[in-house]
A and B are shown apart, each in its own frame.
Chain A
């Protein structure tokens, strides 16, 4: 699509928007700072235990990666394959949002390490037989690609035009790398034969579908908030077309999850079904029934089913979906760990200590760290928007 003559001034270009965004960012950072201090200075690890060694932080990491990769993949799919117009100038916004999510993800996973300052060992002394090494390397590569693309936008329109061929190349290679990254993260859990709940699910595929749907939800929101076509008929047309795809994607995601759940539940083998039972009827049943299924799936389905041509419905559906989806990775990771393996049930009572238990509920400080990570992402997005995206869009304007 050619740059539209009707492009209007982008959002956040007014000082007031910028200040409000910065204000929210600093509140988030301030709120989360003490949690980060408790991790880095007092070496605390929240409510994690030796039997549930991964928890909220790993869940948030997975969620942010789904967003960051899913956003770029769907952006590419919508533009190149479905030929949806009105998205071209959203590219720098998408890149920036992806980088912001990526940095938040890396931060939160860094906090999860017992020795965060040894992270460099994963680069200099990697074991490529481990999917975790692949995850770290692919994620870093992905970061470099996104930074390179964003740097081009920072240099301006002429620069982008001049290096167009290389930028296109980067975009094209970012697609397989993104797909691989998601598959590797899904595989990282899926290959663990010791955790039947993970092992039984086709997690690489499920993560891929989840990433596409969540990424699309965020992409719609980015379009609604930041699209330079705002105020033009194109803006609404694009939103409605995206909403249609979104509705289809939610339905596909639902069918895939249902099929996966049924395969685990039907034989009712305790080793496999226990995790699913924890998800559906465990102490945090409401996160899946109310937050995910009711708010995150049912409401968007109704909204998009009945009013998918109305902007307010598209707004509400994408927000609900994203909110509802936050609980999904946590509901995959924690239940996979929160029960002893078959024949090892006696381990529960074998030795008593608060850190030798299968009960895990995130502590306040863990939420603080998450809020700090979100604040960090917001900070990068806000500043990046002001100094990279806005000048670039202004050139087009």
Chain B
């Protein structure tokens, strides 16, 4: 899939990602048709899955999908109502120029990013430059991305890849809340990488900071080196800790880094450091990261910054973009629009 082909064809995934290998595997066409919501339905629908777990996770996927599809209209309705209610509503022209989309575009924004991802996947890996853009003015702090990430990567208790930081700004009566999702910044000069004594973490040619759980000795040096607190340690906790039994969903393996990982005490990834990887296993299979497709406010964008036509290229050229702790020179690949 890394070769450029004359005829743009759907990339054949090479990875053992269940959504792609099962009989009902999601195809990129299906993803395009479903506006990316398909990407929420992944391994849980693969044949042989536990029916209880399937139902449970399908339920979550349906809820998140429903939310994703219905939110634009809900948000618009809400905004219209709010505008009517408030005589003091701010003049829209005073708002800074954020990524505003017309109705059709808004609903197809996921489709556009999905298409761009497909295009990027036809290039050799070193010619792709994945970046994420998060529009803080649109983030409602709902935590859907946090939860979808946990569902996608089957994160155990105590491990989180994309928490949303909440800040209260100002003093009464002039107050507001800023919600800042914090994935791994996939830093271009990642300070977490050179400190690893066993080369268990490195930067992929497309910029994603990768991990090898089987190589990691769990020394946690990389955690101390990350200025964004983006690495968490898998202490081996279950959500069902202290209850009579582990729940079926805790038995489901995850497929991070295109490998199968079963959560068991003493076996990786327990005892390892874990972090957000932009859902690299999904990207490699031609899909968008879970947090992108489930963001109810269309606040998270993803794509190839090397493609000048891509949405993310457009967005990161704006003057209202910032990066966290830019002064440290880590050159994050996550941009925020403020």
Contacts and interface: CB of A to CB of B under 8 A. Distances in A.
B197 A114 contact: no
A313 B265 CA distance: 52
B71 interface: no
Contact of A122 (B146, B158, B167, B217): B217
Contact of B198 (A121, A188, A341, A343): A121
B159 to A, nearest CB: 8
A355 B155 CA distance: 14
B223 interface: yes
B219 interface: yes
A356 B198 contact: no
A186 to B, nearest CB: 14
B229 interface: yes
Nearest to B202: A127
Contact of B324 (A45, A53, A194, A343): A343
B221 A132 contact: yes
Contacts of B233: 45, 48-50, 53, 114, 355
B272 A115 contact: yes
Interface residues of B, number: 50
A129 B194 contact: yes
A136 B197 contact: yes
A368 B60 CA distance: 44
Contacts of A119: 217
A309 interface: no
A132 B157 contact: no
A390 B316 CA distance: 73
A391 interface: no
Contact of B271 (A115, A193, A350, A354): A115
Given A132-B221, A356-B160, A43 B266 contact: yes
A72 B225 CA distance: 32
Contacts of B221: 130, 132, 188
A345 B160 CA distance: 16
Contacts of B180: 346
A193 B191 contact: yes
Given A132-B219, A195-B224, A356 B232 contact: yes
Contacts of B165: 344-347, 349-350
Nearest to A353: B158
B244 to A, nearest CB: 18
For the residues of B in contact with A, the DSSP-based class is loop
Contacts of B215: 121, 125
A51 B229 contact: yes
A354 B217 CA distance: 23
Interface residues on A, range: 35 or more
Given A127-B199, A349-B166, A351-B146, A344 B160 contact: no
Interface string A98-131: 0000000000000011110011011001110111
A201 B216 CA distance: 29
Contacts of A356: 158, 160, 232
A274 to B, nearest CB: 15
The winner among A54, A126, A188, A350 for most chain B CB atoms within 10 A is A350
B158 A355 contact: yes
The winner among A49, A54, A114, A343 for most chain B CB atoms within 10 A is A114
A337 interface: yes
A192 B221 CA distance: 9
B191 A194 contact: yes
A115 B271 CA distance: 6
B325 interface: yes
A133 interface: yes
A270 interface: no
Contacts of A188: 221
A340 interface: yes
B163 interface: yes
Interface in A335-383: 337, 340-347, 349-351, 353-356
A337 B166 contact: no
B94 interface: no
B236 interface: yes
A195 B196 CA distance: 16
B145 to A, nearest CB: 12
A43 B265 contact: yes
A43 B269 CA distance: 13
Given A129-B194, A194-B226, A355-B158, A43 B199 contact: no
The winner among A48, A353, A354 for most chain B CB atoms within 10 A is A353
Nearest to B192: A194
Interface in B222-268: 223-229, 231-237, 265-266, 268
A26 B12 CA distance: 63
Contacts of B191: 192-194
Contacts of A337: 224
13 contacts: A43-B265, A50-B232, A115-B218, A127-B196, A127-B197, A130-B195, A193-B227, A341-B228, A346-B165, A347-B182, A353-B157, A355-B157, A355-B237
Interface of A: 42-43, 45, 48-51, 53-54, 112-115, 118-119, 121-122, 125-127, 129-133, 136, 188, 191-195, 337, 340-347, 349-351, 353-356
